[in-house]
Amino acid sequence: MPPGLHLLHRLRRPPAAAAAVPELCPVCGDKVSGYHYGLLTCESCKGFFKRTVQNNKKYICAENQDCKIDKTHRKRCPSCRFQKCLIVGMRLEAVRADRMRGGRNKFGPMYKRDRALKQQKRALMRANGFKTEAAASLVSSNQTDSAFTGSFPGLYPVPIIQTTLVPTTHYNHNCYGLPSLGTSTPSNPSISTQRQYTSSNPAIKSEHTDIHMSSQASVLGDHAYSEELQEETFSPQVPRMPQLVMEFLRCDPDELQMQRNIAAHLQREQSSWEKQGKPTAFSFMCRMADQMLFSIVEWARRCIFFKELKVSDQMKLLHNCWSELLVLDILFRQVQHGKRSSVLLVTGQEVELSAVASYADPTLAHLVQRGQELLEKLHGLQVDRQEVVCIKFLILFNPDVKPLESQPFVESVQEQVQGALLEYTLCTYPQYLDRFGHLLLCLSELRSLSTLAEDYLCCKHLSGEVPCNNLLIEMLHAKLLHVHTSW
């Protein structure tokens, strides 16, 4: 084993910065002064939004409708500023047509719930001591977790990198399983989505004089809002599923399909092996892992957020996390399998643990032992599929991977997924307040386990025992290359 490998891995995954950032305006990053028109914003963006809507102002961007909006530049392009106001979720309906002063509006309960959720998060974070690396940013500036957005319209950090501006309308239209999400061309998502967004949003270029009259004005966020209102009014006792989690479930591959594909592939391979003599169990496992990796890459390529990234970033993220995804996949299959005495393979075959023990060398035996321990924790938690799909995204969108071209995007996805997972756990298992913290601990354990597994495979590879010409080898090479170049 190359010297310092463990240390290097620890260096590769530095703990996140600890301090919680005070709440920032999602439009310009200035200091938040309270809830205004649907979400926490600064005083100036509140005023700007009010003036724009009340006076029915029309702005035209002199550039490409992708101007940077921050505290210093916010005055420069009102068109993009207003657009950003809508993107982050400010509500046209909250501007009163009659200009009545004082009192409260229908958003009151949402603000309250949002506050309660935020407070719960802070308490949880404190209880967890901010030790888990994913936790620190949760109480920071993002409002992706806000109750009334259903975890979605967030994405506000995205326009910082102007290349991946994602319109929220698509997601809102596609919640609860409608099929057409993400029709943008992968080659240049920014342009296509931007166009769809501006052309489909009457608030930006055309008249919106009727917004006060029509409760069904087709403006950004209406869907999320009306759903929220419905839920608030009619079914407050039913736990909500954050829309992001719904979307993750939709992206997740079908287990049976995968089982068939991989089994068929291995069957085909096996017929050619027979000519070369009997393969070892280890070699068989490698080929199976290889096929699982293909599935993982295929899943990632097709899933929300990831497909918006450049290939170079996609590669870096996958090179970083392939083993974690692989181990998680294996472990969750065992959770569903439910039997402690045998291992369920992706092909559907069952292998007795005693058989594994008799075959394993000490290092592998230790790996299996660690896997069993983590599996016990997952069993204890009765971790569900919704949580696992979220964890997969937490693993994939690791903001510690550097350098990335779309670093802010990856960070914002990480934060959104954390928010969605926390919201899901709080809503689905309200009696179990620390569940989110326990899941993050499992994730941390999973990371260390997968690092060990990678090291083990590297060792085997260096001694020539891993079958050639596959994805597994490429991942291991990337790892070895990384060790080499950064040492």
CA distance 45 to 51: 10
57: nearest Cα among 205, 195, 168: 205
Identify the residue among 3, 19, 99, 338 touching DNA (CB under 7 A). 99
Q: Decide: 108 and 66 in contact? Cβ < 8 Å.
A: no
For the beta carbon of residue 299, count every other beta carbon within 10 angstroms: 18
* Contact call for residue 51 and DNA (CB under 7 A): yes
* Contact call for residue 118 and DNA (CB under 7 A): no
* Contact call for residue 3 and DNA (CB under 7 A): no
* Contact call for residue 103 and DNA (CB under 7 A): yes
**Considering the complex, what minimum distance in angstroms separates the CB of residue 93 from DNA?**
9
Query: Residue 243 is encoded by which pair of tokens?
Result: 């829309």
* Contact call for residue 87 and DNA (CB under 7 A): no
Identify the residue among 8, 20, 61, 95 touching DNA (CB under 7 A). 95
Residue placing its CB nearer to DNA in the complex, 141 or 174 = 141
Enumerate the β-bridge partners of residue 36: 39
Measured in whole angstroms, the distance separating CA 272 from the mean position of its chain's CA atoms is: 40
> Which stretch, 32-40, 117-125, 249-257, 289-297, contacts DNA (CB under 7 A)?
32-40
Residue placing its CB nearer to DNA in the complex, 12 or 212 = 212
* Contact call for residue 102 and DNA (CB under 7 A): yes
**Considering the complex, what minimum distance in angstroms separates the CB of residue 302 from DNA?**
39
Identify the residue among 7, 19, 100, 256 touching DNA (CB under 7 A). 100
* Contact call for residue 96 and DNA (CB under 7 A): yes
456 assigned binding-site residue: yes
Residue placing its CB nearer to DNA in the complex, 145 or 247 = 145
* Contact call for residue 68 and DNA (CB under 7 A): no
Residues 6+ apart with CB under 8 A from 247: 171, 174, 175, 181, 304
Query: Residue 82 is encoded by which pair of tokens?
Result: 């207003």
Residues between 223 and 252 with contacts to DNA, criterion CB under 7 A: none
460 assigned binding-site residue: yes
1: nearest Cα among 428, 469, 452: 452
CA distance 478 to 457: 13
> Which stretch, 47-55, 278-286, 370-378, 398-406, contacts DNA (CB under 7 A)?
47-55
The annotation places the binding site for a phospholipid derivative at 456, 460
The residues binding DNA (CB under 7 A) are 30, 34-38, 42-44, 46-48, 50-51, 54, 57, 74-75, 78, 94-96, 99-105, 107-109, 111
The annotation places the binding site at 456, 460
